[in-house]
Amino acid sequence: MIRVQKVRLYPDQTMKKVLDNLCDYRRYCWNQGIALWNDMYDSSLILGDKKLKPSERRVRDELVANKADWQYQLSARCLQLAISDLGKAWKNFFDKARPDWGKPKFKSKKAPRQGFKTDRAKIVNGKLRLDKPLEIKTWYDIRFKGAKSLEGDLKVVSIYRENDKYWASLPFEVEITKKGKTGNKTAVDINVGHFNYTKGKVDTLPDHLKKLYKRIKHYQRQLARKRVVNGNKATKTNNYVKTRAKLQLDYRKVANIQHNIIHKFTTKLVSDYDKIVIEDLDVKKMQMTHVASKGLQRSLFGYFRQVLTYKAGWYDKEVVLADKYYPSTQRCSDCGHIKTGDEKINLDGNQKYKTKHNEYICYECGAIMDRDENAVANLLALLN
């Protein structure tokens, strides 16, 4: 299995320049690759020759053949890996079922995150050593922090710069010890702000996280007000830069808190249960509604499913996806009656019977239950 560790890099001034140059070179190769890919595709259509259609190998060979002198001073693997990722992006473009489906786009130098990849990185004496480019005399290993253990074979390393800080994703190929079978099964009902399962509820929006969101809202308003008053000149002022740094720091704290909650919960699920049922939600379509979009974005539905899926693969556990149209919320877990029409439960409950959003009342059998507990029971019934 591949396990990835994210670490913070602390390069000196010399290595900062090298990393910045490699980030720029990766962006240059990507943009040149897209432009060449589009030209080849247009030529194949105009001339009606399928042999002229672009491919990863043709685009890479063309860029390598037309290298400028300054490109030989940088790592050749940066170009090759950029075109390899571009080829994968074009293949994914023809699979509309993918969550981030879309046509590959040109990368901007104004993007807050810039990075590159290398498969020649090594860890020597607790430091990260990169492939030394040509005509570079001073070359240093980069110290880093954040790794718990460095075991296994190091694969393709991703290095990126964000908020004037440098990070690296270190993927290690390791052997994972399988967890013992428990014979237990559970279901997870995913809601805005909390996850419900057979043993209780996990809060994904705790109070300290809500305070951070309030502070983020305050900083965003300050920045917007500065842009309205000063226009494009606002981004160059010291106060604007300081406020933006505070905003970015709070966003980083929010991400760390949310990821910590998700990882702890998913680890508990794959440790205690052999089969786990979750809903196959179409998150992008759900976010189209103005009322629920912010809560859905903060609840990390897609991230939860992604983490649970790969951890279940690690430990040989099974994740069962309920159908998108399975009425887990509208169905009565006691008698099986499904609410339709005016009886349906919405985000605000049911206006016809004046019920709250967390209440489920079945008017066929008279059962009164918590809405989320009823949904968990219905999802669990799929395993019977």
pLDDT-derived band at 51 (thresholds 50, 70, 90) equals confident
d(CA 311, CA 272): 13
**Percent of the chain, pLDDT > 70?**
95
Residues 6+ apart with CB under 8 A from 175: 1, 152
Q: Per-residue pLDDT tens for 256-314?
A: 999 999 999 999 999 999 999 998 876 666 665 665 677 777 778 888 988 999 899 88
Question: Could you give the angle at the alpha carbon of 368 between the alpha carbons of 362 and 371, nearest 5°?
Answer: 85
Contact present, 262 and 190 (Cβ < 8 Å): no
Report whether pLDDT(348) > 80: no
Please give the average per-residue pLDDT across 111-138, as a whole number: 87
Take residue 217 and report the two structure tokens written for it.
């809202």
Q: By mean pLDDT, which of 10-24, 86-100, 110-124, 299-313 is the weakest?
A: 86-100
pLDDT at 105: 92
Beta partners for residue 2, in sequence order:
173
pLDDT-derived band at 371 (thresholds 50, 70, 90) equals confident
pLDDT at 133: 74
pLDDT at 265: 93
pLDDT at 290: 62
Expressed in percent and rounded to 5, the helix, strand and coil fractions of the chain are 45, 20, 35
d(CA 202, CA 265): 8
H helix count then E strand count, the chain: 9, 16
Averaged pLDDT of the chain: 87
pLDDT at 186: 92
**Percent of the chain, pLDDT > 90?**
40
- Any idea how long the chain is? 384
Q: Which pairs from 122-130 meet CB under 8 Å and 24+ separation?
A: 122/154, 123/150, 123/154, 123/170, 126/150, 128/9, 128/157, 128/168, 130/18, 130/75
Please give the average per-residue pLDDT across 199-227, as a whole number: 91
Take residue 87 and report the two structure tokens written for it.
């080829």
d(CA 77, CA 2): 21
pTM score, two decimals?
A: 0.76
Contact present, 185 and 276 (Cβ < 8 Å): yes
Cα(first)–Cα(last) distance of the chain, in Å? Answer: 31
Report whether pLDDT(26) > 90: yes
